[in-house]
Structure 1
Amino acid sequence: MPFEGNLLLRALQAPDRARLAPHMELVHTRRGDRLFTAGEAVSVISFPCDLTVTTLLVAMRDGRSAEAATIGREGAVGGVVSNGCLPASTSAVVQIGGPVLRIEALRLQEAKRLSPALADLFVRYADCLLAQVLQSVACNALHPIEERCLRWLLTLQDRIGTEVLPVTHELLAAMLGVQRTYLTRVLRTLQQRGLVEVGRGRITILDRARVRAAACDCHGMVARHYEDVLGAVYGPSGRLVAVDPPDEGAIRPA
């Protein structure tokens, strides 16, 4: 099992890896794949690996949706907070395709019962994921669309580690819960300010330091919470935020 591609799995001790490995399944996902849909019973926990990125989406009756959390190689999706096997309140959609390791929720529960260290790791991660969701709620309610847009772009860059982000206008509009035409005007403004460069199917962050300064505080607050609660998980070779100096709110190596 390629446990090294996911930071939570990489942090496991050898006995816990051996406990989980026989029950893990490696699948390859494509953009737009749904790991689960709101209302479905979640019976599988999924661990995005390498550059795979998924998003928890909340959909409304009128067809609009908004991002609740973005998850990459630093975490897992699927009943992480509830321990699985309960109806999902959101949908999990793959935004950047790639490898995903999956395990039945009941298998993971049994492993956590047998290993206090494994249980503690997932309790800590569940706390961080919930903090990210709650911060997203506050951000959507309180901050201007330009700041929210930059916050989401930084969040995605954290997980794939490149300045060029494979993001379409349609995708970003869905994440932010706005019309595509409105988002186009927002991106034009950000480009005129020299923060991003907008291309066909991609958005390039031109100066991360300036983008961080122009974004709302939410990105840094979530990163600092991960650092406080799970800092030891993200070691030097797999820092969640790999391009920031450690004294600027990034998740520092242990």
Structure 2
Amino acid sequence: MPSSSGRPNNNLLRALSAQDYELIRPHVRCETKAAGELLYRPGDHVGSAYFPCGPSLVSYEVTDGDGRNVETVLVGREGAVGGIVSLGFLPAYCLIVVKFDGPFVRVPIVNIQSAKDRSPSFKNMFARYADCLMAQMFQSTACNAIHSIEQRTAKWIAAAMDRTGENLVPLTHDQLAAMLGVGRSYTSRVLQAFRQEGILTTRRGALIVDDPDKLRLRACRCNEAVKEHFDIVLRGVYPEPDDAAVA
């Protein structure tokens, strides 16, 4: 899991200064999580922060009254989940679910909070990440309200590619539809159109993007808007499209 820098392959951790990283280094625990694993449920005590590494992806999901889960934010190696943005110890509001399996770093919240108390620059780094995460949530709300299913489908697949650095997206039609909050028939029609245009091919349990540039042309600009904000607030943390995610 450690990268060439000697740290786990998570851009937020790698953006910390050597002095700030040392504050949490003794408490870093490397774990492997499987797709579908729940890190937190609503109301759970949030005892640790999780940093996705390499191709790992996790999402915040809200459950409606009928038991359906809808994704609000997707987080990869640019960020972290679980108590990162809070001051003190608060319960989880929504589901935090592993979408793509792989390596994670776990750090107890008590040690994150201690580092914030000891280092203004550490505290500032995570405050800036909190701002970026909030921007993603705002953008997601707007996207769900105004953009077509086709645009949102293309956006989600492109976002997964950017964060993992891979053209293979391990996702079924049902899973994609559930995350977008639409019926399976809608996403199936969109994916069929993408196949006919040579944008992607499908195999059991996965999508393979054959033409990333054409896919991005079919997406809305929401990914770009989020990246632009990251580049202002935390330059270099949001993954570039051609930046391979080596675990």
TM-score normalized by the length of structure 2: 0.91
Deviations 1:27-58 (A, max 9, x none): 11111111111222212111111111111111
**Which amino acid in 1 is paired with 2:137?**
V
Matches within 5 A, 1:126-137: 126-137=130-141
Identity, % of aligned positions: 42
Q: 8 Å contact 2:161–2:241 — kept in the other structure?
A: no
Residue in 1 that maps onto 2:39? 35
SS in 2 for 1:47: strand
Residue 69 of structure 1 aligns to a residue whose secondary structure is strand
1:89-238 paired onto structure 2 within 5 Å: 89-231=93-235, 233-234=236-237
Equivalent position SS for 2:107: strand
Match of 2:50 among 46, 49, 52: 46
Q: Which segment is superposed worse, 190-199 or 23-32?
A: 190-199
Q: CA deviation digits over 1:129-186, x for unaligned, max 9?
A: 1101111111111111010001100110011111121111122112101222332122
Residue 84 (structure 1) shift: 5.5
One-letter amino acid of the counterpart of residue 140, structure 2: S
Letter in 2 for 1:136: S
TM-score for both structures, normalised by structure 1 = 0.88
* Count of residues in Structure 1 that have an aligned counterpart in Structure 2: 239
- Whole-Å Cα distance in 1 between the matches of residues 52 and 133 of structure 2? 14
Task: State the Cα RMSD in Å.
Answer: 1.7
- 2:90 is paired with a residue of what secondary structure? coil
Asked if structure 1 preserves the Cα contact closer than 8 Å seen for 2:51 and 2:80, the reply is yes
Query: Any residues of structure 2 matched to 1:16-27 within 5 Å, and which?
Result: 16-27=20-31
| Distance change >3 Å, CA 49–CA 85, structure 1 → 2 | same
Contact preservation (8 Å) 1:53, 1:97: yes
Q: What SS does the aligned partner of 1:4 have? A: coil
CA distance in 1, matches of 2:120, 2:99: 33
Residues 47 and 108, structure 2, Cα contact 8 Å, conserved in 1: yes
Query: Is this contact kept in 1: 2:57–2:74, CA < 8 A?
Result: yes
C-alpha distance in structure 2 between counterparts of 1:192 and 1:228, whole Å: 38
Q: Unaligned 5+ residue runs, structure 1?
A: 245-254
Which ranges in structure 2 are unaligned for 5 or more consecutive residues?
Answer: none
